[in-house]
Chain A
Amino acid sequence: MTTLTSAARPRRLTGRLVVPKAGAIVLALILPIALVALWQASGTNGALFGGALPTPDRAWNAWVTWAFGPKGMGLNPYSGTWAESVVFSAIRVAKGFALAIVIGVPLGIAIGWWKLFAMVVDPTIQWLRPVPITAWLPISIAIFGISDFGSVFLITIGAFYPIVINTTHGTRDVEKNWIRAALMMGSSPFTVLRRVVLPAALPSIFTGLRIGLGIAWTAVIVSEMVAVKSGLGYVLWDAYYVGRMDIVIADMVSIGLLGYLSDFLIVRVEHWVLRWRRLQSFNA
């Protein structure tokens, strides 16, 4: 790590601030630590709002038991069960998200590429899109019952729209001369799609994936609250009913961290796949 003296603080010619990585982490932590400290300090007898909201230390203790406590005989659902709840939710997100990619990316490319196909399919997608995933819940339960796939179905629907829309956009935006060059070099239309259009659309596709993943986490929590009996969403709602607000808080933080972690993973993959693009960009 380089030590910085104020005289030799590196600034780019453009005048933008350059901060070393460790410094960036410190900067990022200031606000959350301050908020938690304020929250802790505002509580009396470990609670705020007349007992409705527990202080962070109580939520932390609840989480420790939830995560590492003895499982007992299943008498306390909030002891030693955190990991399995996380796994249930994460697997549902992974399945639903994967399904959304498998359907959304090819469909988006097809819509972006073939005008006729777009004219037939795109309006329907645009009409269905404003229907929020919550509105799909009754249908999902009616068809799939209280089952895992009901949840996966909702996640897929939620993640599908941003993926398909961004893929379409990326496909339509491909530079004309790249396609011409590929045709000139003897590519078949399918080769053009696979070797030019798909890679050229990847930056947009990744944008869609990131938005879609965020919606996937929303969808898993909503669906678990109603349509299945396991996972973080189920625990969240259940804990609320039995008045365990400390677990509710611990659950919310867990969801936030998982969402953050999965987004981080996507960004890492994107970073690696789109190396070529970083070299061209201003912020490289």
Chain B
Amino acid sequence: MGTVSMTGVSKVFGGPQGVRALDNVDVHLAEGEFMALLGPSGCGKSTLLNMVAGFEGLTEGAISFDGKSVVKPGPDRGVVFQEAALLPWLNVWQNVIFGPQVQGVPRSDYEPRAKEILRVVGLEAFHDALPAQLSGGMRQRVGIARALVMQPRALLMDEPFGALDAQTRLSMQQLLLDVWQTFKTTVLFVTHDIDEAILLADRVCIMTARPGRITRDIPITLPRPRSIDHLLTPDFVQFKAEIMAEMRGAH
């Protein structure tokens, strides 16, 4: 459960003579795998994620989720957006239970789960706060909680910590490591931050721009459970050196 497979995926924007944003991408995610898509801005990594989410169509190729072709968004693939994209008129609790609520899940079913997840992301005390009253990091915690509460088979995260300051980013990365250790869902994580990709992922796929392509697929063999302390280990630095060399070579 939670397997993603992209075969020969291409995306052309603006008609047949348009810009080729993605060119013949092949990626497969196994169940419970944490994969980071790493690349410079404009390389099409977010477009790829949007296609897996069902937000955008593809020009060529095929994307399937658990063996079924992706045609539209759905709660089996929880998306965490770059700026959280919470509904600003709903408070934290209402945002978190929005998914189960609109799906008609009985309250007795989702309420304990939502409470537990809110506790895990450390927002119990902000139950009634509106998004505008929260910091960027807290908003993103709500974004993660709202995806997890649907018990998705995969999490699709589109540079979720890109807009946060360095310190908050570290604590969010730690939070995500802990959460993932508990839920073990498949994760497709889009980022342009090398450290973040190595720290979080089992595999880092490096992309280049124009046209967007995957050039390398590097397994990250750092032991789990991980923490932000791993950022300083020699193994980590080794991976970083390898990835930096690859990215430099690609330019």
Q: Which of A181, A182, A184, A276 contacts B130 (CB 8 A)?
A: A276
Tell me the minimal C-beta distance from B119 to chain A in angstroms.
21
Q: Which of B55, B77, B78, B89 contacts A276 (CB 8 A)?
A: B89
Contact A184 B73 (CB under 8 A): yes
Contact B72 A183 (CB under 8 A): yes
Which residues of chain B come closer than 8 Å to A185, judged between CB atoms? Answer: 75, 98-99, 102-103, 146, 150
Known: A186-B103, A186-B150. A180 touches B132 (CB 8 A): no
- Whole-angstrom CA separation of A187 from B83 in the bound complex: 20
Tell me the minimal C-beta distance from A103 to chain B in angstroms.
25
Contact B89 A199 (CB under 8 A): yes
Which residues of chain A come closer than 8 Å to B81, judged between CB atoms? Answer: 177, 180-181
Contact A184 B78 (CB under 8 A): yes
A211 within 8 A of B: no
- Whole-angstrom CA separation of A185 from B142 in the bound complex: 14
A137 within 8 A of B: no
Contact A178 B87 (CB under 8 A): yes
Instruction: Write the B72-97 contact mask toward A (1 if CB under 8 angstroms, else 0).
Output: 11110111010101111110000000
Q: Closest A residue to B95 by CB, please name it.
A: A181
Tell me the minimal C-beta distance from B65 to chain A in angstroms.
13
Tell me the minimal C-beta distance from B222 to chain A in angstroms.
30
Tell me the minimal C-beta distance from A46 to chain B in angstroms.
55
Tell me the minimal C-beta distance from A179 to chain B in angstroms.
9
Instruction: Write the B40-54 contact mask toward A (1 if CB under 8 angstroms, else 0).
Output: 000000000000011
Which residues of chain B come closer than 8 Å to A177, judged between CB atoms? Answer: 81, 83, 85
Q: Closest B residue to A202 by CB, please name it.
A: B89
Contact A181 B79 (CB under 8 A): yes
B133 within 8 A of A: yes
- Whole-angstrom CA separation of A144 from B81 in the bound complex: 55
- A residues adjacent to B (C-beta < 8 A): 175, 177-178, 180-188, 191, 195-196, 199-200, 274-277, 279-280
Which residues of chain B come closer than 8 Å to A200, judged between CB atoms? Answer: 89
- What's the dominant secondary structure at chain B's contact region? loop
- Whole-angstrom CA separation of A180 from B81 in the bound complex: 10
Q: Closest A residue to B90 by CB, please name it.
A: A276
Q: Which of B54, B83, B98 contacts A182 (CB 8 A)?
A: B98
- Whole-angstrom CA separation of A237 from B77 in the bound complex: 67
- Whole-angstrom CA separation of A195 from B99 in the bound complex: 12
- Whole-angstrom CA separation of A181 from B78 in the bound complex: 9
Known: A178-B85, A199-B87, A277-B88. A184 touches B132 (CB 8 A): no
13 other A-B residue contacts (CB within 8 Å) besides A181-B87, A274-B89: A177-B83, A178-B87, A180-B55, A181-B79, A181-B81, A181-B86, A184-B53, A185-B102, A185-B103, A195-B87, A199-B89, A277-B88, A277-B89
- Whole-angstrom CA separation of A155 from B132 in the bound complex: 38
- Whole-angstrom CA separation of A138 from B53 in the bound complex: 57
Q: Which of A175, A178, A276 contacts B132 (CB 8 A)?
A: A276
- Whole-angstrom CA separation of A183 from B103 in the bound complex: 11
- Whole-angstrom CA separation of A200 from B150 in the bound complex: 23
Contact A184 B75 (CB under 8 A): yes
Chain A CB count within 10 A is highest, among B77, B85, B150, for B85
Known: A178-B87, A276-B88. A184 touches B133 (CB 8 A): no
Known: A184-B78, A184-B79, A186-B103. A280 touches B53 (CB 8 A): no
- Whole-angstrom CA separation of A182 from B103 in the bound complex: 11
Which residues of chain A come closer than 8 Å to B72, judged between CB atoms? Answer: 183
Can you give 6 contacting A-B residue pairs, CB < 8 Å?
A: A180-B55, A195-B98, A196-B87, A276-B89, A277-B88, A279-B133
